[in-house]
Amino acid sequence: MSTPKSRKAELRHGLGRMRSRLTEDDVSVAGGAFARQALALPELASARTVGAYVSVGREPATGPLLDALRARGVRVLLPVLRDDDDLDWAPYEGPERLVAAGRAGRMVLREPAGEPLGLRAVLEADALLLPGLAVDGRGLRLGRGGGSYDRVLERLAEAGADPALIVLVYEDEVLEDVPAEAHDRPVQAAVTPSGVRRFGA
């Protein structure tokens, strides 16, 4: 009998194969479109601090968005993956201040070179951009499967922090249904290259 966890793993595999078919040009062109759509969100227009991430591989490219937010004077916090898979945070100071952070058996991430600010720095964020492989009509996000962002969302909830939660996904990754577990928390919006999909009231 399949479980939500096993169905998530199967869905991740299929979506990962779909993304692997994208070319570097596909990702680059879509990155500009993602930035334009996201920057028009009122949640980002009014934000003073935004938690974000540096895309890897064929993920929706976040570079143009990170630079545009920084040019607006927004304080952008990026994750720094700890050995226990939890996320510390450090300020984004431009692409030249990102360093490769490879760990055995894990994907190579690009992280800020500056001093980490601590696990709770993200509590200051007005909006949080989340990586995801898919999102469904309830706003439930399918993440990479490492659980790092589940810890972040739990930390936010425990502290009573309520940033806008936004996921970036390609058009064909907005699905009818994503397997859900008890700890999964919906996002308020999904940004695609062609528009924004909102969830909830």
- Is 72 labelled as part of a ligand binding site? no
- Is 78 labelled as part of a ligand binding site? no
- Is 148 labelled as part of a ligand binding site? yes
- Is 54 labelled as part of a ligand binding site? yes
- Is 8 labelled as part of a ligand binding site? yes
- Is 145 labelled as part of a ligand binding site? yes
- Is 21 labelled as part of a ligand binding site? no
C-alpha separations of 136 from 79, 97, 139, 142, 159 in Å: 25, 35, 5, 9, 27
- Is 97 labelled as part of a ligand binding site? no
- Is 24 labelled as part of a ligand binding site? no
- Is 160 labelled as part of a ligand binding site? no
- Is 141 labelled as part of a ligand binding site? yes
Nearest of 20, 53, 36 to residue 141 by alpha carbon: 53
- C-beta of residue 166 within 8 angstroms of C-beta of residue 149: no
CA 140, 52, 80, 100 torsion-angle sign: positive
- Is 82 labelled as part of a ligand binding site? no
Indicate the annotated binding residues for substrate.
Answer: 54, 59
Known binding-site positions: 8-12, 54, 59, 141-149
Annotated binding site for ATP: 8-12, 141-149
